[in-house]
Amino acid sequence: MMESFKIIADPKKCTGCRICQFICSSLYHHEFNPSKSYIIILDEYELSPTIQFSDKCNHCGQCARNCLYGALKLEGEGIS
């Protein structure tokens, strides 16, 4: 069974880079297409974008593992 994680989002650290969305859409739709991602970044040009997850998110944690800016963390893994 796939591991499942609670993901903690810290919008203050989010740069709006969309890497998380590219990862998710490539994993589950085989496309680099943010609109098909299960993590949703709103107002990405603002200082603190809004980070949401759709109902289809399975909590695989790959978006968090690939966020380079510390805006997504897996619960229990170095949350500060």
Binding residues (CB under 6 A) for ligand SF4: these are 7, 14-20, 23-24, 38-39, 41, 51, 53, 57-63, 67, 69, 71-72
3-state secondary structure of 41: strand
Q: Cβ of residue 20: shortest distance to ligand SF4, in angstroms?
A: 3
Phi, psi of 55 (to 5 degrees): -65, -20
Q: Cβ of residue 69: shortest distance to ligand SF4, in angstroms?
A: 4
- Cα-Cα-Cα-Cα torsion 54, 15, 72, 22, nearest 10 degrees, comes to 50
Q: Cβ of residue 15: shortest distance to ligand SF4, in angstroms?
A: 5
